[in-house]
Amino acid sequence: KTLAAQQRTSLTRLIEEGLQLRLREGQAPTKAKAIRIPVYRGKGGLTPGIDGLSNKALLDAADRDA
């Protein structure tokens, strides 16, 4: 309580900060694994009349096919 008062913070906040520091100590930094994003190389494309830049048009087309 004294330390929290000296730092002008709540005891709860002081405990939270201490727990965060303690938890971070035990964790080794993880390196993100490189992933390959699939690229469609097929032929065709969108159905004529569908605007591929419009979310609404794409959702409407998906609803018609469902």
For 7-57, the pLDDT digits (tens) are: 899 999 999 999 998 888 877 777 888 999 998 888 888 888 889 899 999
Residue 57's pLDDT is 92
To 5 degrees, how large is the angle CA 54–CA 58–CA 59? Answer: 115
Residue 46's pLDDT is 82
Q: Do the beta carbons of residue 11 and residue 4 sit within 8 Å?
A: yes
Alpha helices in the chain (DSSP H): 2-6, 11-25, 55-65
Spatial distance between the Cα atoms of 1 and 6, rounded to a whole number of angstroms: 9
